[in-house]
Amino acid sequence: MQYPAATLPFGGPIPWDRSTAEEPGAILPTFPYARATPMGERGDRAMFPEAPPTALGTSQAGAQGAPEEGTPVDAVMDRFARGDDSALAELYRLGAPRVRAFLARLCSDLALSDDLTQDAFLRIHAARGKFAAGAPALPWMFAIARNSYRDFLRRQQVRREHRNTTAMLASPQRLDRPESGGDRALIARQMLGIVQHALMSLPVRQREAFVLMRFEGLSLAEAAHVLGATEAAVKILVHRAYVVVRAALDKQNQADALAGKPGAR
């Protein structure tokens, strides 16, 4: 199966993209759902039209405005809510990658995102009976993961370590990137680091809204539900976040252009 190459906005393919890796399988993202796809046709099905249906389709359909029904994760969550304890392992297998990715993008710390994912799934387990029948599971899980993250921040604040933690989390080095050669790869890593740094400089609420809509593929209505805000408020949050991130990227692009680096525009 030939996958189309994912691209970065400043030109050129992502160096470690599976379709362009020199050794196929050498640098494979284990997050098949982490996407660099256009908003308009989000999701794996849109990016890889020949790919088999993913286990997690809720958010992808959400971007189109039509609620998707009967995705495996929804069905598994429903089984779990009805009392099938064996469904927890499957739910974790299906849902944890998305929850972990969401948390990693929020906190920029992979180890912390692992801990928070565990916490979120303990909460999901405890609250399974409150999951409404027929509801999409992913927004519900994202909302619980967000609560885990918020509670973590609150605990940090109580311990008066918030400033230090924020500084630690804001460090672009927290997400270690695979080292692959070439100037283009270097620029790509640099750009992603800039995005990460810009995201961490945002207020938490803006970051949550931006991550949910840009990277998790939720529609405006779904993001508003998860954040407990109105759609207009979410749009404003996302716009403000976009302005900050875009400005950081533009600044870097200008610097690269002045330095005559390849890929800069």
Partner 1 sequence: MSDFDLERLDDVPDPLSGIDTRPLPPLRAVTAPSPTRSQVASVRAIALVGALLYELAWLTIMSKRDDLHTLGAMTLFIEVAIPVGAAILALVAAAAPGERGLGEPKARLATLALLSPALFVLATLLVASVAPVGEDDTLSFWFHCFRCFAWTSLYTAGPLVFAGWAFRRSFVVAPAWRTAALAMACAASGAATMSFVCSVGNPAHVLIGHGGTMFVAALVGAALGRRFGQV
- Within residues 49-78, the interface with partner 1 by CB under 8 A covers 67
Q: Candidates 47-55, 125-133, 155-163, 256-264 — which segment interacts with partner 1 by CB under 8 A?
A: 125-133
Q: Does 31 bind partner 1 (CB under 8 A)?
A: yes
Q: Does 20 bind partner 1 (CB under 8 A)?
A: no
Q: How far is the CB of 80 from partner 1 (least distance, A)?
A: 9
| Closer Cβ to partner 1, 130 or 160, answer by number | 130
Q: Are 96 and 148 in contact (CB under 8 A)?
A: no
By CB under 8 A, the residues from 126 to 185 that bind partner 1 are: 126-136, 139-140, 143-144, 147, 175-178
Binder of partner 1 out of 44, 46, 54, 92 (CB under 8 A): 92
| Closer Cβ to partner 1, 100 or 184, answer by number | 100
Binder of partner 1 out of 55, 60, 100, 263 (CB under 8 A): 100
Q: Look up residue 188 and give its amino acid.
A: A
Angle at 68 between CA 67 and CA 71, to 5 degrees: 150
Q: Does 226 bind partner 1 (CB under 8 A)?
A: yes
Q: Candidates 25-33, 49-57, 155-163, 256-264 — which segment interacts with partner 1 by CB under 8 A?
A: 25-33
Q: Candidates 14-22, 47-55, 158-166, 255-263 — which segment interacts with partner 1 by CB under 8 A?
A: 14-22
Cα dihedral 148/151/152/158 (nearest 10) = -170
Q: How far is the CB of 129 from partner 1 (least distance, A)?
A: 4
Q: Are 33 and 44 in contact (CB under 8 A)?
A: yes
Q: How far is the CB of 157 from partner 1 (least distance, A)?
A: 14
Distances (CA, A) of 193 to 176, 186, 196, 252: 10, 10, 5, 11
Q: Are 7 and 14 in contact (CB under 8 A)?
A: yes
Binder of partner 1 out of 44, 238, 256, 263 (CB under 8 A): 238
When computed from its CA atoms, the radius of gyration of the chain, rounded to whole angstroms, is: 19
Q: Does 44 bind partner 1 (CB under 8 A)?
A: no
- Please say whether the dihedral angle defined by the alpha carbons of residues 79, 87, 213 and 6, taken in this order, is positive or negative: negative
Neighbours of 46 (CB within 10 A): 18
| Closer Cβ to partner 1, 34 or 76, answer by number | 34
| Closer Cβ to partner 1, 165 or 238, answer by number | 238
By CB under 8 A, the residues from 186 to 225 that bind partner 1 are: 188, 191-193, 195-196, 199, 210, 213-215, 220-222, 224-225
- The b/e string for 168-195 (b: 16+ C-beta within 10 A; e otherwise) is ebeebebbebeebeeebbbbbbbbbbbb
Distances (CA, A) of 12 to 120, 183, 194, 229, 264: 37, 11, 17, 37, 10
Q: Which among 30, 5, 7 is positioned nearest to 19, based on CA atoms?
A: 5
